[in-house]
Structure 1
Amino acid sequence: ELARALAAFLFDSEHAMVRIDMSEYMERHSVSRLVGAPPGYVGYDEGGQLTEAVRRRPYSVLLLDEIEKAHQDVFNILLQLLDDGRLTDGQGRTVDFRNTVVIMTSNLGSHVIAEMPPNADAREHERVHDEVLAVLRQHFRPEFLNRVDEIIVFSRLDREQLRHIVEIQLQSLRSRLAQRSISLDVDEAALDLIAEDGYDPTYGARPLKRVIQRRLQDPLAMAILEARLRDGDRAHVEVRGGELVIQTPAHTDALPVG
């Protein structure tokens, strides 16, 4: 979500983000898929997954997800990318990365962050930060870490931060409903209930998306399919008896969603 928001801010489009799951490059033979197979090998004409995506859209945010799972040979490629800002693909073409923001995510040290108390002070945050960096130094080579401009350690999300994420996620839902001229109002109590239901200090914001889908998106989709919510209508979400209720226009009844 952070990479997608950064792409929208820098390049005016969430589609300016290129995500590559590095768990797909755990084997040595899979490394060539990043820059493309050399001449004479199967897949030579297809280009590399990494180089081809950036060659077509050089102004983008490149997300290398779970970088710690990649094979060590991948880091030899990344060293050139981070140092020179360019790569040569399997067809001999030079791909320019100088206008690309590279973000690498990792779960290394997550156990240290999980043990941090919710009310940790600045000294505790600094201790956790140092321990996570120590874990990174044990896993990655020094020449790789030296080419990374900034290392950011994220703390666990608290309830207030999760509530802000709920509002951001609802903006995306409102944008989709706006394509049918449907507006969505969610009162404060409903926001608090969604945030509380989706709060999990271990898994962060991932459960929240499932909660929004189960308790809002799916009932709204069913209401549209059953013509209980029509183009141009307004839906209001509130809390009744500790449960979410979608209040639809006068031509339908209130829709309990649990």
Structure 2
Amino acid sequence: MPPARKRARAYDPARTRAAVVAQFAHVREAVRGLDPGQLARPTRLGEWTVRDLIAHTGMAVTAVHRALDRPAPPKQDTTLVQWPFATAAGAGAIAEFTRGLAADHPDLDAHLTDVDTALRAVLAEHPGSRLLQTSAGALPLDDYLVTRTVELVVHTDDLNAALPGLDVPYDRQALAAATRLLADALAVKAPGGSTEVRIPPYAVVQCVEGPRHTRGTPPNVVETDPLTWIRLATGRLAWPDALAEAKVRASGERADIGGLLPLMS
């Protein structure tokens, strides 16, 4: 008998919407007082400066507006967990768009304020069932907003790395949703039940082909914290470095998941 298909994880729409708004507000407040020297600082994202990164963070939110401005697709043709695998294809166009956006909005505070106002307005206007055409395919608005938690949490971490001491906070629900979506993507990329990946307090998934664990302590276990997991899943941190720095605990012959990472970049 084939194994039972796993039920897709459910996300509370109201909490997701609140998390997107809250995390964007954290970013907007933290970068409001940055001076020109700080905005010109490099980031870990190639040639992007902090200014570029902030502009891109706003762009990740306005992706909701742009999608809602287009006609709704006739039907949903993908699932939320497929989104992480579709992001790399548009990286070049996104980078070019970001540089143009940063140049066109010298007053980033005013720009982010406008983005925030528009976000709240479209979320109040549109139901979560409204279909959007996204890079991964047609998804409901409520599902697409889960992907925005990934974008916002990842780029919050990028900002904190670029400007030590900035300490942009992480909304708990945004961090939870981002962690869970990327954990589920790993389980899709490497289906199986031989290895348990634990990211307390938000996610536990089974993955990797091999003997399925059913009782007691799993023979193959990977455990890490949410931000380390997100850095691994998005290519900000390499698996060998995470092991060397004791940011990941991996035990068992099937616990080396480095070859499956990153999931998106």
- TM-score of the aligned structures, taking structure 1 as reference length: 0.27
Higher strand share: 1
- TM-score of the aligned structures, taking structure 2 as reference length: 0.26
